[in-house]
Each structure stands twice: as structure tokens, then as C-alpha cells.
């Protein structure tokens, strides 16, 4: 646990001996590979790393990492991880959750972990379906979705996970997808480097119950024209040769335009470190469906006090003021009398 020695590890050191049991072709495999491949680059030790999950297909993830891990209960991973991270700010704590786990049954814990800014790297696998329970609609399923529990189509309006995170005051918010390992690794690296809560939504394909949910945006053939990859400090452009861009109209609305029509200077420049989350919120909601150009990358990356550190600081300050606790003194603190 020394600060001076950077642990040298390989992907193998991070891979457990457990057989991976997701359905063949599931997007989860790509995410697992990206994480396992990234870990050696982070200069951290497996013994100082903990993966905490809830329940759902994605929540099997900790079993496959050769770190400390806990497969928890449905929705509660952010709460369990909060206890862990506040107790031990020296640890690297990751939370693996899904759209049902994190946004439905565990929504309350997720927003409060983000509000507190607990030092957690939260990866939310969004496949817009309940996979483990075999195909019911989720809080990110689109209206009209026909599933086992909605034979006539869902009438529930969905959440945008990034809007939820930004609304909960998250200090780091990003989106990536399971088909681009390099992109995932880049986003995970930044999420890990951020002190406080990092929230990453990963578009993840469930090829059994919701196959192709993100194909219109993330498949190799359309990606160039449909993915708007935000780069900090760069004009927001996409499409072949960057011919399209994002501008803000005089009405405050963001719009996608042809760069040639408005001129390069009119294109919005992305600033993830902007204190006000308004623009990040608008960017996260630029697309209203799965068939139009969608934003990816880091939407927000700002400094806020890390909760576990703040709790620890109060302990240290009280100790330095009062000295270490003395039990005999405590028991006498409300006044005593002697019986002889």
C-alpha cells in the first residue's frame, strides 16, 4: 500500500479464475475486457481495488475480477460502496450497476452517492431491458416497448441516465458504448482519475432480449455520422471530416447544423470543467431517441470535495483538538458522584 512503488501488473493479474457466464455475444464481455485491459495501466494493485455490484446480468462483473469484490443485493451497491469508501479512502472502489439496478430499485442510493460525491467509479451498463429476469421493460426502455410485462407496449416514459446523474450534482459524467474498447478505456481512465463520484453510462447490447438497441448509433457502419464525441476544449463536430456541428441558438436550444452553413466559429466549444451543469445537461439530451445523432464522451468533470475525505478530515480535526478518545473520561462526561 506504499505510495512510492507503482505496482506492475498485467491483465492476467486482474482476471479471476471464474468462468464468465454471460450469454455468448453479450455486450458485457467487451466491457469486462476493456476494464481488465485498462487496470494495469492505472498503476494500482488488485488488493487495493474493490468491485461492488447489485443484482442483474452486469452485476456478475465482480466475480470475474481478481480483486476484492462483493456481489450485493438489488440496487444497493452505491450504499454498500459508500460505507466501504468512507471507511477506507485508501481503496479504489468501483460500482457496477445496470439500468434496472441503478435507476429503478436503487435510484435513491445512486443519486445520493452522486450528491455526496463519494469517491466511486460507477459504471452503469444500460441495455434498456431487464435481462436476468428474462425480458421486462426497464426505466430506460422507450415508450411503446413491447416486452413480456408490456405486451401492448410500455406507457412509461424513460429516464435519461445522464440527466439523472447531472441532476444529482454528479461531478463527473460520461457516456461510452460496448463496441469501442479504446473509447471505453479512455473514458474509464478519466473516470478513475477523477476524485469523487464518477458516473459512466455504457450503451450495452443485450443480444438476447433487446438486440440492436443502439445499432442505429453505435454500429461501425453508421458511427461516424451518428456519434458526437465530445472533446474537452474542442469545437463539437462530427460526421465525415467534421462536417456537422452543434450550435446554441439565440433561444438557448442546442441544434445540429452543417458547419458549412454557419461557419466554424459558430460551433460550440466543449468545456467539461464548466461549473454550471446546464450545458452538459443539454448536451446529454441532444438526442431524444436511439435513431438520431447522440453525444458521447465526458460531459462534466469538475472538482468537488470527496465525501470520504471530508468525513476523515472531521475525525482528524476532532482528534487533534480533543486528543485521542479516552473511555474513562467519556463515562464521566455527564457528571458523577461518589458513594462511599
The site for ligand SF4 (CB under 6 A) is made up of 22-23, 26, 28, 57, 127, 131, 206-209
Tell me if 174 sits within 8 A of 187, measured CB to CB.
yes
**Site membership for another protein, residue 82 (CB under 8 A):** yes
The CB-of-42 to another protein minimum distance in angstroms stands at 16
The CB-of-53 to another protein minimum distance in angstroms stands at 8
Span of 144-152, 254-262, 297-305, 308-316 interacting with another protein by CB under 8 A: 308-316
Q: 115 φ, ψ to 5°? A: -60, -45
Dihedral, 71, 76, 79, 80 alpha carbons, nearest 10: -20
The CB-of-213 to ligand SF4 minimum distance in angstroms stands at 11
DSSP element (H, E) containing 105: none
**Site membership for another protein, residue 305 (CB under 8 A):** no
The CB-of-52 to ligand SF4 minimum distance in angstroms stands at 19
Q: How far apart are CA 213 and CA 129, in angstroms?
A: 10
Partner from ligand SF4, another protein, none contacting 22, C-beta within 5 to 8 A by type: ligand SF4
Span of 29-37, 41-49, 215-223, 261-269 interacting with another protein by CB under 8 A: 41-49
Q: Which of 25, 83, 263, 278 binds another protein (CB under 8 A)?
A: 83
**Site membership for another protein, residue 68 (CB under 8 A):** yes
Residue 271 is placed in which grid cell?
468545456
65 vs 187, beta carbon nearer another protein: 65
**Site membership for another protein, residue 35 (CB under 8 A):** no
163 vs 207, beta carbon nearer ligand SF4: 207
* Nearest residue to 31 (alpha-carbon basis) of 67, 70, 9, 59: 59
223-227: long-range contacts (C-beta < 8 A, 24 or more apart)?
223/180, 225/293, 226/292, 226/293, 226/294, 227/293, 227/294, 227/296
132 vs 222, beta carbon nearer ligand SF4: 132
Task: Provide the b/e sequence for 65-88 (b: ≥16 CB within 10 Å).
Answer: bbbbbebbbbbbbbbbbbebbbee
Integer Rg of the chain from CA: 22
131 vs 245, beta carbon nearer ligand SF4: 131
**Site membership for another protein, residue 5 (CB under 8 A):** no
26 vs 52, beta carbon nearer ligand SF4: 26
* Nearest residue to 238 (alpha-carbon basis) of 283, 203, 188: 283
Annotate 200-231 with DSSP letters as a single string.
EEEE---TTTSTTTTHHHHSTTTHHHHEEEE-
Partner from another protein, ligand SF4, none contacting 226, C-beta within 5 to 8 A by type: none
DSSP element (H, E) containing 243: none
Tell me if 166 sits within 8 A of 159, measured CB to CB.
no
Partner from ligand SF4, another protein, none contacting 5, C-beta within 5 to 8 A by type: none
Q: How far apart are CA 251 and CA 57, in angstroms?
A: 43
Tell me if 244 sits within 8 A of 226, measured CB to CB.
no
The CB-of-142 to another protein minimum distance in angstroms stands at 29
Span of 191-199, 229-237, 265-273, 307-315 interacting with another protein by CB under 8 A: 307-315
The CB-of-74 to another protein minimum distance in angstroms stands at 8
**Using CB under 8 A as the criterion, which residues of the chain lie in contact with another protein when the complex forms?**
1, 16, 18, 45-50, 52, 55, 62-63, 65-73, 76, 79-88, 90-91, 108-109, 112, 311-312, 314-315, 318-319, 321-325, 327-328, 330-332, 334-340
Amino acid at each position: 500500500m506504499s505510495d512510492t512503488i507503482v505496482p506492475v501488473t498485467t491483465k492476467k493479474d486482474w482476471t479471476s479464475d471464474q468462468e464468465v457466464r454471460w450469454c455468448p455475444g453479450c455486450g458485457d464481455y467487451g466491457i469486462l475486457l476493456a476494464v481488465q485491459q485498462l487496470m494495469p495501466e492505472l498503476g494500482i494493485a488488485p488488493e487495493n481495488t474493490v468491485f461492488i455490484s447489485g443484482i442483474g446480468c452486469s452485476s456478475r462483473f465482480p466475480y470475474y475480477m481478481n480483486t476484492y469484490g462483493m456481489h450485493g443485493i438489488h440496487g444497493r451497491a452505491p450504499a454498500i460502496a459508500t460505507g466501504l469508501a468512507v471507511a477506507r479512502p485508501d481503496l479504489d472502489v468501483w460500482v457496477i450497476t445496470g439500468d434496472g439496478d441503478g435507476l429503478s430499485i436503487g435510484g435513491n442510493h445512486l443519486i445520493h452517492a452522486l450528491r455526496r460525491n463519494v469517491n466511486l467509479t460507477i459504471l452503469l451498463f444500460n441495455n434498456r431491458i431487464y435481462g436476468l429476469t428474462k425480458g421486462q421493460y426497464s426505466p430506460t426502455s422507450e415508450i411503446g416497448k413491447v416486452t413480456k410485462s408490456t405486451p401492448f407496449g410500455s406507457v412509461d416514459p424513460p429516464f435519461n441516465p445522464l440527466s439523472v446523474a447531472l441532476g444529482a450534482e454528479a461531478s463527473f459524467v460520461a457516456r461510452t458504448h460496448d463496441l469501442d474498447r479504446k473509447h471505453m478505456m479512455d473514458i474509464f481512465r478519466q473516470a478513475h482519475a477523477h476524485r469523487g463520484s464518477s458516473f459512466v453510462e455504457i450503451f450495452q447490447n443485450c443480444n438476447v432480449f433487446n438486440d440492436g438497441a443502439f445499432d442505429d448509433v453505435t454500429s461501425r457502419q453508421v458511427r461516424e455520422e451518428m456519434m458526437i464525441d465530445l472533446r474537452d476544449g474542442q469545437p463539437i463536430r462530427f460526421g465525415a471530416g467534421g462536417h456537422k456541428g452543434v450550435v446554441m441558438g439565440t433561444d438557448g436550444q442546442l441544434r445540429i447544423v452543417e458547419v458549412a452553413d454557419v461557419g466554424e466559429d459558430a460551433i460550440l466549444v466543449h468545456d467539461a470543467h464548466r461549473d454550471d451543469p446546464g450545458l452538459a445537461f443539454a448536451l446529454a439530451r441532444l438526442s431524444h431517441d436511439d435513431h438520431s445523432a447522440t453525444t458521447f464522451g465526458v460531459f462534466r468533470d469538475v472538482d468537488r470535495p470527496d465525501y470520504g475525505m471530508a468525513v476523515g478530515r472531521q475525525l482528524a480535526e476532532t482528534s487533534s483538538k480533543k486528543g485521542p478518545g479516552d473511555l474513562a473520561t467519556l463515562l464521566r462526561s455527564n457528571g458523577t458522584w461518589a458513594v462511599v
